[in-house]
Every structure is written in structure tokens, then in C-alpha cells.
Structure 1
Amino acid sequence: MEMQNLTKGRTGGINLTCGMSGSHDFIFTLVPIVYAFNFVIGIIGNSMVVAVIYRYMKLKTVANIFVLNLAVSDLTFLVTLPMWATFAATGYQWPFGGFLCKTAAGLVMFNLYTSIFFLTALSIDRYLAIVHPVRSRRFRTVAYARITCVMIWLSASLLSVPIALTRDVHYIENPKTVVCGVLHPTDENIKRLDNLLLAISLMKSLLGFLIPFVIIITCYCLIGRALLKVKHIQKSSGSRDDEVLYMLAATVLAFFLCWAPHQVFHFMQMLTQFVLVDNCTVLEIIDTAMPFTICIAYFNSCVNPIVYSFVGRNFRKNLLRLLRCSPRGIARPHPSISSKMSALSFRASEALSLTVKNNVSCDAK
């Protein structure tokens, strides 16, 4: 919970100059229901992804490693949703203490960074596999993928530490309640804390959304151009190419739709925080919209398994095998999640090389 326009009370509590902005009964009812839905669907979907990849598809491809780590990241975040659901259902009352307040807030940002970083890494891997299948072969190895995952986990951990340090339990005097929110500045640390909160907000907007989104869009635009070029050269290319294009489009669309609303209102909230907007109406609009944008952002943890795994035929086959408790062995090996893209990469490079050869032969004549 972002607390703004606060003043210290005589008894050590905090008074809100605009009251409990954004506190409405329909929020306290609807948001916990959405959180519960996200929790159930997310836990089931991501657990299936982990089980299927670990049991049947193995960690022998770069794509499988990234998708598995993405699912683990989502599971790590989803375990905090019951606490946030309780927080919303009780009218922003935090009964879990200061340690869990810091931990839950840190895990939210940890999931934000790990999810987007893994999506970006997966997008770069798809770009290299499709557009530069031969030259990128020595870089697209399991060892490099695991090193990348370690770097992502460490980077996300470092970026989420300031979030945890600036969150704590606060006692609100009017109305009397206990919330989990941003630290309230004192006369001694107001400038330092404001600078820290500004840096955290900028990192969340830039590293947590804008820069990865630009990289993802760039990768998929280059992929789309390469696929269209191949399709123009090979008139026989059929629905498999279209399915790959649809999958890529769904990835970008899901990423944008889930995170863009929250990032927009987060930016507006950052402006009101540092431009010192005292208009309670503006703060009311932002604080009322924020819980719903957060719900949409959290839904990304449910969408990821669908976009990256459930659309694949081989995943569905392996999922049915898992549900039937089929043994691992005596089954023909299944391609990885990225098998269609890899096959398309080969056809693309083959078609492009044939075009180059034809042009060279024409010049020789």
C-alpha cells in the first residue's frame, strides 16, 4: 500500500490528510476474489509446467530451462497472494507483522523482475534461434542458459532488496488500522528516503517494464520480418508458420496487457508523490485504480503457462501422460517447447541460403 500525504500524530501514529484514500467496500470484496482466482489457477498451471518439463521434456534445451525458471518464479510470488488477499479483505489491515510485510513486498518486486527478465531472455533466444540459427549455435547452450538464469535470479534479488527495506507496518490513527506500506519519512531522513523511493520507482518503470518491453518488441519484429521473408520465398509454408506467429503475438500482447495499466498508474502515483500533489480527488482516483491494475499485473503469473506451454501440442500430450501417471520410459522422445520454432529456423536458413546461391549463380552467368 502506497501511503501519501501523511502527518505524524502525537502518539506516534500516522494521520492521513486525505483519509484512507481508495478504501471502498467493493474493492475489499472484489480484489480478494481475484487474488484467490489468480492463486488457484497460477499454482495449478505453473506446477504443471514444472512437473511436465522436469518429468518428460527434460532440461536439455534453452527454452525449457527459461520456461521452467519462469514457472518457479511465478510460484515463488503466488505463495504471497493469500496474505495480500487477507490484507484487502480486512480493509487494509495487516495482521502478519513487519517481517512478512517486508518479505511479501520484496517477493512481489522479485517476481516482477524475474518474470520480465526471463521473458526477455526467452525472446532473445527465439530471435537468435530463428534469425541466426547457425551463428548462434555456440551461444545457445544449456550451460549458457543456466548461467543466464543465475544472473537473472541474482539481479532480481538485488533489485528487490530496496523494496523490502522501504516497507514496514504502520499504525494509522484516523481511522485506526495497521497497514503494510512505504516507510514514512522523518525530518532527519526525508531527503534521503525521497531519493531512494524515486530511484526504486524509476527502476521499476525502466528495468521492470520499458526497457524489457522495447527489447521484446524489437526481437519479435525482427523475427516477424524473417518469417515473412521465408514465407515469401517458400510459398508452400503453411499453418505451422502462422501458429508460430500467433504464439509470438500472444506473448507480446499478454506481456503488455498485464503490465501496462499498472505501470501507467504507478508513473502517475510517482508524479503525485514527488510533485507533492495535495488534490485528494486525484489521489482517490489513483488509489482506487491501483488495486485493479495490480490484479491485472498479477494475472500475468497465470497467463505465462498458457502462452508458453499450453498452446504446444507436445506439452498437452505430456500433460495427459502426467495426469494418467504414465511412466517416463518407452515413449518416443518429444520435441521441446521450441521445436516448431527450431524447425522453422532450419527452413528459414535453408530458404535464405538457397536464395543467396541462386543470386550468385545468376551473377556468374
Structure 2
Amino acid sequence: MQNTTAGVTQGVHLKCGLSGSHEFIFTLVPIVYSCNFVIGIVGNSMVVAVIYCYMKLKTVANIFVLNLAVSDLTFLITLPMWATFTAKGYYWPFGGFLCKASAGLVIFNLYTSIFFLTALSIDRYMAIVHPMRSRRFRTVAYAHITCVVIWLFAFVLSVPTALTRDVFNITNSNTTVCGILHPKEENAIRVKQLLLAISLMKTMLGFLVPFIIIITCYCLIGRALLRARHIHRSSHSRGDEVLRMLTAAVLAFFLCWVPHQVFHFLQVLTQLTLVENCAILEIIDTAMPFTICIAYFNSCVNPIVYSFVGRNFRKNLMRLLRCSPGGSSRPHPSISSKMSILSFRASEALSLTVKSRPSSEVK
């Protein structure tokens, strides 16, 4: 039967057919998307509500965390469409505009999430390792400016992805899909270069560079905590706890995104080679939906890893569930948020070090 989706462009014939089309994908992936949607919406909504109602936007970490949760919520609203798309055997019934918008929001969330996590890591590094020197930079005003810059920069980086997505009719299987722009003969080289640039930008700016910055910050924080523990033995348990939390944060980020980035890199390699190997494309296209599920799960695990481990957050969450009136009873430094729990406990350990040194040694 002929597809009648509005905005469908001219039919495209794929040399390898619609690879990665398997019934178990069409069944399992929508279920995972649905679970991600429910868990992510509930978890991130709680983060937003708790921070806004009880913890307020008086700390840099809370501002970053609130923006990170809003970014995750913005992305999560597209999951029902992607679940429907997969459940229908890669048939896109929502038209060209929503195809572009949904694809753009996915990449938009990729950049905003990683940029906010990077900003949080830098903030934690400054707060823990250089608490005195960084006070004039770690202000609410600077945090708001940083958030605006991140939102704008991520939007600019996601626009090319939205523009290179459209609705196509695959003549091999007579299926309407939301996919990457297929070049015509007159502009084939230019479009291929554009798609390659977008893919490399996603790998470099969307993963490698932020990940190197995050790892560097955590290593420097860990070194400072170990030094503090070595100088003052009573901070042993505190330092170990903070290091465990840092390890959990890095592992969550790494495990969620690395599988997708690996297969995305393989896709880039297939773009670099003009010869299409249908067997390799079949493997990549079969594995890609599952790596995407894992990557999308990062939007759900963020509240668990960074927020729900905080006793202050759990206390305020219970107040929210009991519908207790808002208002901050006593301002808490930063244990309230995803990364900020690390700052408070690490600062305790480092303060012991400062107190144990003569005043002349304090820089």
C-alpha cells in the first residue's frame, strides 16, 4: 500500500535495503523506550520540583543540575514518537517537521547534557581544589551566564542535524522513514562532507573532549582528597566515600555513552569509505538501536546517581511527597544536587587539611 505521510520526499532506493530490520528490535526497543520515558519523566520532574521548591537556585551546582534536568525532560518528550517509529517497523507517521525537530532535540540533549555535566565537574574541581581562589568566579550570576551559553551553543550545534533529517520513502520496502538526508548526484560530495563533519563533531564535542575534561577534573579532585586523607587520618572514610561517588559518576557517564559512540564511529568509517559493505551495515544498524537505548538511559540514571544518593535530597523529596510547604529551613552548601554532594563532603576533608597546617602554608 502506498504511504501517504505528509511531507514525504522523493523515494530513495537503498543498495543494502533497510538494514537492521528485525522483529525483536521492533518489539523490545519500544518497551525500553517506554520505560526510559516513564522513569526519566518521574525522576527528572522530582529533581526540578525539589530544587525549585526547597533547595532554591542559590548555589552554582543547583543551577546546573536544574538545567540538566530540564534538558533531559526536553529530550524525553520525543521518546513516545521514537517508540512508535520503531514499533511500526521504522515507519514514521508524524510528518517532516516532527522528524527534523525530534532528531534535532536528540542531539540537542546530547550536547546540553554533556556540557552541563562538564560544567558541574569544573565547578566541583574549583570548589574542592581551589575553594578560596574560585569564590569570585563561582557565583549565581556566572552560573546563569554559563547556562545561557551552553543552551545557545548546543542549539547551534544541533541545527545541522535537524536540517539534514527528513522523511523518505524507501522504495525497497515501500516504508516511510525519518532518516538522514540522501544526496543527489549534483551535490553528493558536498552533502557527504557535511554529514561527515556533523558525525565527527558529535564524536569530538559530544563525547571525547568533554569526557577528557571530566576525567581530568575527577583525577585532580581525587588527588587532592588522597592528599588530604594522607595528612589527616580522620578524613579517611570521608575521602573514600567521595572517591566512590566520583567513580560512580564517571562510570555512569562512560557506560551509557561509550557503546553508542563506538558504533557511531563505525558509521563514520562507513561514510569515509565510498564502498558500502552490506554485512557491516547490517551489524551496525542492528546494534545501533540498543546502544541508543543505553545512551538514552543516561537521562534516567542521572537523578539516581547524582541526586538520590544525597540524604538532604531524600529528605526534601519526602517533604515534597508529603506536600509540605516550601521554603528553605537552613541553607545547605550543595549536598542537594547531582554533583554537589561531592563538594560538601570533600570540602570537609580538605578543611581538615587546612586546619592542620600552619597559617603560613595556606596559599
TM-score, scaled relative to structure 2: 0.93
Distance 2:360 2:227 in 1: 16
- Partner of residue 37, structure 1: 35
Distance 1:173 1:344 in 2: 59
Task: Kindly provide the amino acid, as one letter, of the partner of residue 348 in structure 1.
Answer: L
CA positional deviation for 1:194: 1.0
Task: Kindly provide the amino acid, as one letter, of the partner of residue 341 in structure 1.
Answer: S
Structure 1 range deviating more: 69-78 or 276-285: 276-285
Distance 1:285 1:359 in 2: 59
Distance 1:189 1:101 in 2: 22
Distance 2:341 2:26 in 1: 45
1:306 aligns with 2:292: no
Distance 1:207 1:132 in 2: 27
Distance 1:127 1:322 in 2: 31
Distance 1:356 1:83 in 2: 62
Distance 1:67 1:167 in 2: 30
- Partner of residue 341, structure 1: 343
- Partner of residue 116, structure 2: 118
State whether residues 240 and 340 of structure 1, in contact with CA within 8 Å, keep that contact through their aligned partners in structure 2: no
Distance 1:74 1:359 in 2: 44
- Partner of residue 351, structure 1: 353
Task: Indicate how the Cα distance of structure 1 residues 164 and 12 shifts in structure 2: closer, same or farther if over 3 A, else same.
Answer: closer
CA positional deviation for 1:239: 3.1
State whether residues 56 and 328 of structure 2, in contact with CA within 8 Å, keep that contact through their aligned partners in structure 1: no
Task: Kindly provide the amino acid, as one letter, of the partner of residue 72 in structure 2.
Answer: D
CA positional deviation for 1:340: 5.6
Distance 2:344 2:322 in 1: 29
- Partner of residue 95, structure 2: 97
- Partner of residue 220, structure 2: 222
- Partner of residue 132, structure 1: 130
Alignment of 1:14-33 (within 5 A): 14-33=12-31
- Partner of residue 108, structure 1: 106
> 1:256 is matched with which residue: 246, 254, 269?
254
CA positional deviation for 1:347: 4.2
1:148 aligns with 2:150: no
Q: Number of residue pairs matched? A: 350
State whether residues 74 and 111 of structure 1, in contact with CA within 8 Å, keep that contact through their aligned partners in structure 2: yes
Structure 1 range deviating more: 182-191 or 275-284: 275-284
State whether residues 21 and 89 of structure 2, in contact with CA within 8 Å, keep that contact through their aligned partners in structure 1: yes
1:291-348: CA deviation from partner (whole Å, max 9, x where unpaired): 0000000000001111111110000000000000011248444443225623532541
Distance 1:230 1:321 in 2: 35
Question: Taking every aligned residue pair, what percent have the same amino acid on both sides?
Answer: 76
Structure 1 range deviating more: 268-277 or 211-220: 268-277
Task: Kindly provide the amino acid, as one letter, of the partner of residue 78 in structure 2.
Answer: T
Structure 1 range deviating more: 147-156 or 270-279: 270-279
CA positional deviation for 1:247: 1.5
RMSD over aligned Cα atoms: 1.8
Task: Indicate how the Cα distance of structure 1 residues 359 and 141 shifts in structure 2: closer, same or farther if over 3 A, else same.
Answer: closer
Distance 2:342 2:98 in 1: 43
CA positional deviation for 1:352: 4.4
Distance 1:61 1:330 in 2: 13
Alignment of 1:1-365 (within 5 A): 12-329=10-327, 331-336=329-334, 337=336, 338=340, 341-342=343-344, 344-345=346-347, 347-349=349-351, 351-352=353-354, 354-355=356-357
Task: Indicate how the Cα distance of structure 1 residues 74 and 340 shifts in structure 2: closer, same or farther if over 3 A, else same.
Answer: closer
TM-score, scaled relative to structure 1: 0.92
CA positional deviation for 1:279: 1.8
State whether residues 232 and 352 of structure 2, in contact with CA within 8 Å, keep that contact through their aligned partners in structure 1: no
Distance 2:261 2:279 in 1: 20
1:206-245: CA deviation from partner (whole Å, max 9, x where unpaired): 0000000000000000000000000011101143332222
State whether residues 235 and 349 of structure 2, in contact with CA within 8 Å, keep that contact through their aligned partners in structure 1: no
Which 5+ residue runs of structure 1 have no aligned equivalent? 1-10, 361-365
SS in structure 2 of the partner of residue 138 of structure 1: coil
Task: Indicate how the Cα distance of structure 1 residues 171 and 195 shifts in structure 2: closer, same or farther if over 3 A, else same.
Answer: same
Task: Indicate how the Cα distance of structure 1 residues 258 and 331 shifts in structure 2: closer, same or farther if over 3 A, else same.
Answer: same
Distance 2:276 2:345 in 1: 58
SS in structure 1 of the partner of residue 85 of structure 2: helix
Distance 2:66 2:151 in 1: 13
SS in structure 2 of the partner of residue 278 of structure 1: coil
Distance 1:217 1:196 in 2: 30
State whether residues 133 and 346 of structure 1, in contact with CA within 8 Å, keep that contact through their aligned partners in structure 2: no
Distance 1:340 1:266 in 2: 32
SS in structure 2 of the partner of residue 94 of structure 1: coil
SS in structure 2 of the partner of residue 15 of structure 1: coil
Structure 1 range deviating more: 301-310 or 50-59: 301-310
